[in-house]
Amino acid sequence: MDSVKRTIGAVGIWSMELRGAGRPQVREAVAELDQLGFPALWIPGLDGQGALDDVEHLLAAAPRATIALGVLSMWGQDPAALGDRWAALDATYGPSAVLGLGVSNAHSAANAGQEYGKPTVSMLRFLDALDAAPHPAAADRRLLGALGPKMVDLATARTSGWHPFLVTPEYSAAQRTRVGEAPLIAPHLAVVLDRDPARARAAARDGVGMFIGFPAYRSNLARLGFGEEDLIPGGSDRLIDALVARGDLEDIAGRIQAHLDAGADHVTLHVLRSDAGGGADLPRHQWRELATLLPYVTPRASHTNSD
C-alpha cells in the first residue's frame, strides 16, 4: 500500500475528457500533464467499454505518471479476462496503473444480466473471482469506489484503499480515525477556477449536481450532517460550497490541503469550467494553473511528521 501512495503522490488530475485517449489532441494533452509533473492521471471506467484501451493510450503518452481507473463498474466484466488484460498492460508498461472497481447500481447490474444483491457481498464475490483468475490483478494496485463503512472495510481488507466521490475533508478525517493509517484514501475533488460565486456554483451544479440525488451519495451526505434542505436538486449553496473547491489558486490550494490535513493521502482534481466555451474541450489552461500548486502542497505523511 505504501508503494501506491508514493507512486501517485499527493495530487492528481481526474478527467472525463481523457476518455477517448486514442485521439491525437488528447494524447498531446496527456503528455503535457505528464511533463507538468502530475504524478497520477485518473479516468472514469464507467461501464468498461473502451476503458482499458484508454488506460493503455494514457500509459504510452504519460510514461512517468500512474494511470488510475477510477472507477470501473464490476458489472459485465469477466474477472479472468480483466486479469489477463491487466497483466498484459503490466508486461508492456510495468506496474504503472491502478485498477479502481465500483459496484455501481442495480440498473447497471440488470443491464449486464446479473443480480445486484447486497453491494458488499457482490463486490466480495467479484474480488474473489479476480484473485482466483490465472492472472489476478494485484491487491496492492487496486482500489474500490466506496463511501459507506461496509464498502470501506472491504476496500481496507482486500485492496490498497478507496476513491470516494462527493465528500468533504471531514469525511476523510472520520474514516482515517476509523480505519487507521494503512489504507489509501484518495477523494475526488471538483474545482472551479472562478472567483465569482454564482458562476462557480452554476458550473459545480452542471458538473456534479445530478449525483446529489443518487441514494448512495444522499445517504453519505446525510451521515456528514447535511439535511433535506441541502439535498435538494442540484444541492444547496452550503452543500455545493462544501463539496466543490472554487475561487482562485490560493482558494483551491487551501481546499486541497484541508483534505490532506484531514487524512486523505491523495486528492484528484476534476476541473469544471465556468466559461461558456467549456463543453468537451480539454481544460488545458486550468490544468497548467493547477500544476503551479504542486510544489506547495504538503503531503499528509510529511505534514504529520513535522507537527
At residue 2, the pLDDT reads: 60
Q: Are the beta carbons of 101 and 126 closer than 8 angstroms?
A: yes
d(C-alpha 80, C-alpha 154), whole Å: 21
Q: Which residues contact 275 (CB under 8 A, 6 or more apart)?
A: none
At residue 276, the pLDDT reads: 61
C-alpha separations of 307 from 39, 128, 172, 261, 302 in Å: 25, 41, 19, 11, 9
* Regions of the chain with pLDDT less than 50: 303-307
Which ranges of the chain does DSSP label H, i.e. alpha helix?
Answer: 2-8, 24-36, 51-61, 79-93, 106-111, 119-131, 149-158, 169-179, 197-208, 215-223, 237-243, 249-262, 284-291, 300-306
At residue 306, the pLDDT reads: 39
What are the cell numbers at 95?
506496474
For 72-137, give the secondary structure using H, E and C. Answer: EECCCCCHHHHHHHHHHHHHHHCCCEEEEEECCCHHHHHHCCCCCCCHHHHHHHHHHHHHCCCCCC
Q: Are the beta carbons of 29 and 65 closer than 8 angstroms?
A: no
What are the cell numbers at 161?
484503499
At residue 302, the pLDDT reads: 52
d(C-alpha 291, C-alpha 254), whole Å: 15
What is the value of pTM for the model shown? 0.94
Task: Give me the helix-helix angle, 119-131 and 79-93, nearest 10°.
Answer: 60
Secondary structure of residue 288 in the 3-state scheme: helix
At residue 305, the pLDDT reads: 44
C-alpha separations of 222 from 41, 200, 206, 250 in Å: 30, 24, 21, 29
At residue 6, the pLDDT reads: 83
At residue 4, the pLDDT reads: 84
Q: For each of the domains in the chain, give its residue range(s) and CATH number, in order of start.
A: 2-296 (3.20.20.30)
d(C-alpha 200, C-alpha 220), whole Å: 24
At residue 139, the pLDDT reads: 94
d(C-alpha 191, C-alpha 203), whole Å: 9
d(C-alpha 81, C-alpha 134), whole Å: 9
